[in-house]
Chain A
Amino acid sequence: MNDASTNRPESLWAIAWQQLRRKQIAMICLAILVAYAGIWLYAEGNFWSAKLRGVTPNYRISNYAIRNQPPSATHWLGTNYAGRDNVSQIVQGTRIAFEIALLTSCIVIPIGFALGALAGFFGRKIDTGIVYLYSVVGSVPGILLITAISYVVRGAVERSPAMQTVTRYADSGLLAVCIGMGFTGWVGLCRLIRAEYLKHRERQYVLAARAIGVRPAAIMFRHIAPNVAHLIIINFSLSFPGLILTEAVLSYLGVGIANEPSWGAIINDAKQRLWLGNWWELAGATAAMFFLVLALNLFGDALRDALDPKLRTAETKTA
């Protein structure tokens, strides 16, 4: 942190990091998140190496001789209906969870940011139009809209010849769920960004830039954007857990991921065998989901406290 260029004020990020480091819970959560990210990368490697070599990845090879086994030394969480190791299924579930979060964010962030910035910066008719758009999207019951979009997208993706190459590498159900959640999820971010742009529009530095004739696009993206970028990070970390939980519900409604072991799919499978006393499958997937969501929630909170100036001023008052 003690950078050589000392006369530069410390950046928001640096201050935030110092704040975070002081919080024990936040650091524990960060460690958990790093561990999950490691598992995710391992699972990606496993998945892609098989995919590129054109073979069946080992987690998908079924062995009908050892179906529904209880936990043992070789299979810590037993095996599932097709004799696949539950641990490897849950590990792949981690990959799916991260892929969902990242892909969805790839839709949410550009849409939410661009529309929010446009509305807040230009105001007037553009603002009215965008506010109308997000009021409409925000008023449709969320799960219904996601379900409908996912159904439609999956059908379209699977039928269109143009998408054949894409679906060779990505599960069409996964794409559908992400697009469904993406096209409903941008509303929150858009609201936040719009409000920030409304504020910044009137700030001195923006007025100054305008006065010297900087183009509006440049002001929007080069001048204001860096000052509101932290909101994207906060929004991402706080919406990640929601996406994972939503995927589980979508699986139950039948629009989840079709051919890959997402946590939602594992939980729905496990339901069938619960009455046989086969609790480990449910417990394993639930635990995997629980710790990730918990860590994300707590870390997201800490991050928000660290990055959002408003709450920080509140804290300094107590000091």
Chain B
Amino acid sequence: MIAYILRRIISVAPIALGVLLVTFLLFRVIGGNPAYRIAGKNATPAKIAQISHARGYDLPYFLNFEKFPQQLFHAQFPRLARNILRGDFGESLTSKMRVSQLLRDGVLPSLCVTTPLFFIELILAVALALLAAYYRDTWIDRSLVVLAVMAMSISSLVYIMVAQYWLASEWRLFPVWGFEGPQYLILPVLIGTVAGTGGTLRFYRTVMLDEMYQDYVRTARAKGVSPAKILFSHVLRNALIPILTNVIVALPFLYTGSLLLESFFGIPGLGRLLVSAISNGDEDVIFAETFIGAVLFVLANTLTDIAYTWADPRIRIK
């Protein structure tokens, strides 16, 4: 078991490296030399060359054959990978601040929105899914499903615009923008819940219905166990594994934050940071956020696999 866990954790590394390679290809190789951006509007060719040299943008992308063999890895990508593995995420091209500092500053605001959102959504979705499963194939179940699908069918942009305009600006129920206190979080969390619960609810309902048709449920029903008891002590318990899986896989998104909610409501989190990094072509920030996001995502997936194996002995370890 421990060997398996170790093997799985080691397998995260090549994937993380692959993710870094993809981002590097997209932004540096095709996106071009960032020295133009740094040099500013009065740039001279000499200045661009100087900046390229100082920052290593003039090196080969992958392998440096001119310096073979001693400095074969004296090239852009190996340098980037080495720095990131060392935990050195470089500095922002626009604000010249350490990326690690920007990430540290952004985590808390992001978590302030995503954590309550996550728990409210989870509790609401599970509760409604239980309700739907209990009243399956009645109008309650059907209208819950249709409502969930309807909520999923509206663009989150529209939710945000409408809520920000009417609820905050017109009716003054909430602050329009800012991150000054808990009341500033209510509207983003509310919008996130409305926009996100539908999909989760639908998923959990399917999971629970799948369990409802299992043999053990039939047996329990045959033995005269009350429907409520079946639902809570049998079905819910068995549905916990897929629910838990879903929860763990969602955890990395707590960290990355919400792009749209943060940029509309002025929450200085990692989502807002990423949106402005994309529009400013701020590479090091993009590299760092993508890399960390991907590593967390892969780790979470690995964790679910491990949890599965541990929780369900029927799943064999290959």
Interface residues, chain A, CB within 8 Å of chain B? Answer: 25, 132-133, 135-137, 139-141, 143-145, 147-149, 151-152, 155-156, 241, 245, 248-249, 252-254, 264, 267-268, 271, 274-275, 282, 286, 289-290, 293-294, 297-298, 301, 314, 317-318
In the complex, which residues 259-316 of chain B have their Cβ closer than 8 Å to any Cβ of chain A?
259-260, 274-275, 278-279, 286, 289-290, 293-294, 297-298
Cβ-closest 10 pairs across A and B: A136-B18, A293-B153, A139-B294, A294-B153, A148-B26, A248-B155, A152-B30, A297-B149, A314-B213, A286-B158
In the complex, how many angstroms separate the beta carbon of A224 from the nearest chain B beta carbon?
23
In the complex, how many angstroms separate the beta carbon of A188 from the nearest chain B beta carbon?
14
Chain B residues with CB below 8 A from A156, complex form: 30
Q: Which of A135, A147, A268 has the most CB of B within 10 A?
A: A135
**Contact for A297 among B27, B153, B260, B279, CB less than 8 A:** B153
**CB-defined A-B contacts under 8 Å, sample of 24:** A132-B14, A133-B18, A135-B15, A135-B18, A136-B15, A136-B21, A137-B22, A139-B19, A140-B23, A140-B294, A141-B256, A143-B259, A149-B26, A155-B30, A249-B155, A267-B158, A268-B157, A274-B165, A289-B154, A290-B153, A294-B149, A301-B149, A314-B209, A317-B213
Chain A residues with CB below 8 A from B289, complex form: 141, 144
Tell me if A's interface is mostly helix, strand, loop or mixed.
helix
In the complex, which residues 1-56 of chain B have their Cβ closer than 8 Å to any Cβ of chain A?
14-16, 18-19, 21-23, 26-27, 30-31
Tell me if B161 is interfacial: C-beta within 8 Å of chain A: yes
Cβ B290 vs Cβ A249 within 8 A: no
Cβ A249 vs Cβ B260 within 8 A: yes
In the complex, how many angstroms separate the beta carbon of B133 from the nearest chain A beta carbon?
13
Chain B residues with CB below 8 A from A143, complex form: 259
The CA-CA distance from A156 to B169 in the complex, in Å, is: 42
Q: Which of B146, B157, B169, B286 has the most CB of A within 10 A?
A: B157
**Contact for B15 among A132, A145, A267, A298, CB less than 8 A:** A132
Q: Which of B22, B153, B169, B256 has the most CB of A within 10 A?
A: B153
Chain B residues with CB below 8 A from A136, complex form: 15, 18-19, 21-22
Number of interface residues of B (CB under 8 A): 43
Chain B residues with CB below 8 A from A132, complex form: 14-15, 18
Chain A residues with CB below 8 A from B155, complex form: 245, 248-249, 264, 267, 286, 289
The CA-CA distance from A286 to B154 in the complex, in Å, is: 7
Chain A residues with CB below 8 A from B250, complex form: none
| A271/B260 contact (C-beta < 8 A), A140-B19, A141-B294 known | no
Write the B153-192 contact mask toward A (1 if CB under 8 angstroms, else 0). Answer: 1111110011001000100000000000000000000000
Give the A-B contact count at a CB cut-off of 8 A: 111
Tell me if B152 is interfacial: C-beta within 8 Å of chain A: yes
In the complex, how many angstroms separate the beta carbon of B58 from the nearest chain A beta carbon?
21
The CA-CA distance from A141 to B169 in the complex, in Å, is: 32
Chain A residues with CB below 8 A from B213, complex form: 314, 317-318
Chain B residues with CB below 8 A from A271, complex form: 161
* B277 to chain A: closest residue by CB: A144
Chain A residues with CB below 8 A from B105, complex form: none
| A314/B210 contact (C-beta < 8 A), A135-B15, A144-B286, A293-B153 known | yes
Tell me if B150 is interfacial: C-beta within 8 Å of chain A: yes
Cβ B157 vs Cβ A249 within 8 A: yes
Chain A residues with CB below 8 A from B22, complex form: 136-137, 140, 145
The CA-CA distance from A286 to B158 in the complex, in Å, is: 7
Chain B residues with CB below 8 A from A149, complex form: 26
Q: Which of A135, A144, A254 has the most CB of B within 10 A?
A: A144
Chain B residues with CB below 8 A from A294, complex form: 149-150, 153
**Contact for A144 among B21, B161, B278, CB less than 8 A:** B278
Cβ B278 vs Cβ A253 within 8 A: yes
Cβ B154 vs Cβ A290 within 8 A: yes
* B31 to chain A: closest residue by CB: A152
The CA-CA distance from A86 to B260 in the complex, in Å, is: 26
In the complex, how many angstroms separate the beta carbon of B198 from the nearest chain A beta carbon?
9
Cβ B149 vs Cβ A298 within 8 A: yes
Chain B residues with CB below 8 A from A140, complex form: 19, 22-23, 290, 293-294
The CA-CA distance from A148 to B23 in the complex, in Å, is: 8
The CA-CA distance from A212 to B279 in the complex, in Å, is: 59
The CA-CA distance from A181 to B214 in the complex, in Å, is: 38
Cβ B153 vs Cβ A144 within 8 A: no
The CA-CA distance from A139 to B294 in the complex, in Å, is: 5
Cβ A147 vs Cβ B278 within 8 A: yes
Chain B residues with CB below 8 A from A264, complex form: 155, 157
In the complex, how many angstroms separate the beta carbon of A238 from the nearest chain B beta carbon?
11
The CA-CA distance from A151 to B30 in the complex, in Å, is: 10
In the complex, how many angstroms separate the beta carbon of B303 from the nearest chain A beta carbon?
14
The CA-CA distance from A297 to B203 in the complex, in Å, is: 13
Chain B residues with CB below 8 A from A290, complex form: 150, 153-154
* B198 to chain A: closest residue by CB: A297
The CA-CA distance from A197 to B213 in the complex, in Å, is: 27
| A267/B18 contact (C-beta < 8 A), A140-B290, A141-B256, A252-B260 known | no
